[in-house]
Amino acid sequence: MARLRQDQIREHVRSYFVKVLNGHIERLNNTGWPEEDITYIKQELDFHEDGLSGFDEISDQMLDLNFVDSFRTFAGLDKADWTDNEIDLRRELRKGRRDQIKAFLSHAESLEGYSLTKPVEPSPKRPETASVSLGQALDDFLSEHSHQWSSEMQKKAQSYLSVLAEYFGSNRDLSEITKMDAAELKKVLIAMPANRNTKQETRDLPLLEAIKVSKLKKISAKTADSYIDTFRRFFDWAERHGYTSLKLFDRMKLGKAKRSAIGRRAYTSEETQTLYGELTAQHSVLVKKHDHKWGALLGLFTGARLREISQLNKSDIRQEDNIWFIDINDDGENKSLKTPAAKRRVPIHSELIRLGFLDFVGGRRDDQRLFQSFSYNVKEGYGRNLGRWFNNVLLPGLELKEDGLVFHSLRHTMVTRLAQAGVPEPLYQEIVGHERQGVAQQVYFKEGHTLAQKQEAIEKFEV
């Protein structure tokens, strides 16, 4: 195929992002946008602005995650078409997404007040959506995501989504499913028997018959929330790909647990396994830099802060009494620590050594920073690049992006796991750099725990 003309490319991009903008405005008018989503989209705007200035890695990854596949389908471009024109297409997609975000934010800001001199304009016409069956959309969703998931995640997603298909019917037009339909399915989930497909009383019954069987234990609220969250992720994907104009099951989970004051939580075992699998096996295109890989793995296996990891020098990786450890300090240009207690020595987990971390360190000169690609920022130190990639590329790409889960949550995870493994509180406080509490710890035990004690404790952390 001959290369596309610039006017052809621009028209494809313009038409595509008009459709995306209409979908965003429809959602804004129907349900509004949570403030954290507005913040996220503003951050994305910065990434695409950076991409147009030459710093295009995160911009490219966000395009790959959210738009490239659906754009190619929309524009009717096959793989060869894309490859022949990729440089020009990416540049114009960056511009189109940038301007679509600006138009959307302008519209959102206009809703923050009222014009009392002009008549209220009617709501924009509901955008056209592709006519596709629920079954076909589910197949596309699973096909697109299965390579990023472990076999366990694939089985769980297929099991949950089979309930969606059974309730609505695989031939149901996806665009016809409404919020009221979603609310009715939520009622069915609450009434669904636990282990429905294996219990003798229900295994051969259709879903609506199975929920009528009395005296059977129902699925837990946590399990129901897992179903709802899977449905939400599917409809979020379907809306982004133009199959429907609604993001259903959003904010419909049953859980009412009060969040901690800082809004963070620890990763679950399944979530840490997902992170570990992607960082080590690289099932998808999310991990492109060794700096990102090892920076995130250090966070997972040490609980260290983002800035502490990102500013490390090669000379901070040391050995004493046959124990390799990280010397977390503020010695050197542009290095800083949050508190005096943050200055500490943290043993390197044996899993990091097994994975080749010391070989990675050995590839640096003695006077070099460990992570050369991380640039310095006055506000965030060297942590900006790693934090942006982890929170805005890796987590969304693994479908782990949610309130309370960020890079800093790795610290919560380390503290939680060590406490659950029976490690005394003063010991794990010292590992993660928290101020030890009480007169005995602060006055009489100033020397702290030995490297051997800390090594024995940190080895109790398991993914």
Regarding whether 141 and 99 lie in a shared domain, the answer is no
pLDDT for 198: 86
For residues 45-55, give the mean pLDDT: 73
Task: Report the share of the chain in percent with pLDDT over 90.
Answer: 37
Q: Range of 361's domain?
A: 269-458
For residues 54-81, give the mean pLDDT: 82
Is residue 183 in a domain? yes
For residues 264-293, give the mean pLDDT: 91
**Structure-block tokens of residue 101:** 């975000």
Contacts of 201 (CB under 8 A, 6+ apart): 193, 213, 216
| pLDDT winner (highest mean) among 21-35, 111-125, 210-224, 301-315 | 301-315
pLDDT for 406: 94
Regarding whether 317 and 454 lie in a shared domain, the answer is yes
Is residue 368 in a domain? yes
Last residue of a domain, one of 76, 95, 110: 110
pLDDT for 373: 92
Regarding whether 161 and 87 lie in a shared domain, the answer is no
Is residue 356 in a domain? yes
pLDDT in tens, 142-164: 888 877 776 677 888 889 999 99
For residues 298-309, give the mean pLDDT: 96
Regarding whether 300 and 379 lie in a shared domain, the answer is yes
User: Domain count of the chain?
Assistant: 3
Regarding whether 429 and 301 lie in a shared domain, the answer is yes
Regarding whether 425 and 298 lie in a shared domain, the answer is yes
Spatial separation of the C-alpha atoms in residues 124 and 127, rounded to whole Å: 8
Strand order in the sheet with 344-347: 317-320, 323-328, 344-347
pLDDT for 3: 75
Instruction: Report the CATH number that the domain containing residue 289 is assigned in CATH.
Output: 1.10.443.10
pLDDT for 356: 96
pLDDT for 445: 45
pLDDT value at 361 more than 90: yes
pLDDT value at 171 more than 70: yes
pLDDT for 120: 59
Name the residue with higher pLDDT: 136 or 128. 136
Regarding whether 188 and 81 lie in a shared domain, the answer is no
Is residue 262 in a domain? no
Is residue 118 in a domain? no
Contacts of 147 (CB under 8 A, 6+ apart): 283, 284
| pLDDT winner (highest mean) among 56-60, 404-408, 457-461 | 457-461
Regarding whether 275 and 424 lie in a shared domain, the answer is yes
Q: With contact defined as beta carbons under 8 Å apart, do 307 and 381 qualify?
A: yes
Regarding whether 147 and 100 lie in a shared domain, the answer is no
Regarding whether 308 and 437 lie in a shared domain, the answer is yes
pLDDT value at 200 more than 80: yes
Name the residue with higher pLDDT: 327 or 285. 327
Q: Which of 24-33, 111-120, 317-326 has the lowest mean pLDDT?
A: 111-120
pLDDT for 260: 44
Torsion angle, CA of 174/284/157/404, rounded to 10 degrees?
Answer: -100
